[in-house]
Amino acid sequence: MKLFAISHQNRDGCRVLTFANQSRNHYSTRDKAEKALEQLKVNGLPRIREILGETGFATLEVREIECYENGDAKGIYVE
């Protein structure tokens, strides 16, 4: 099953899920995930920059992920 999740590049250069690998953090459409990402950037800007660092923040994007039937991703690394 394919869903969409917000991801970023971590300090090691790997693209990872930004939020916990739980179905509530994955979206059924790209549009829903993009809207969630925009809200994150607007409402959580200072804290998100602090947590992810500049590289992580600059690389935030929505990616399609492979999930189990319960909605959890099959891994935390994207690509």
Model pLDDT for residues 59-70, shown as the tens digit of each residue: 999 999 999 999
Question: pLDDT of 15-73, one tens digit each?
Answer: 999 999 999 999 999 999 999 999 988 887 788 888 998 889 999 999 999 999 999 99
Torsion angle (degrees, nearest 10) of CA 1, 12, 51, 78? -10
| 3-class DSSP assignment, residue 1 | coil
Q: CA-CA distance, 20 to 23, in Å (whole number)?
A: 9
pLDDT for the residue 79: 78
Residue 7 has pLDDT above 80, yes or no: yes
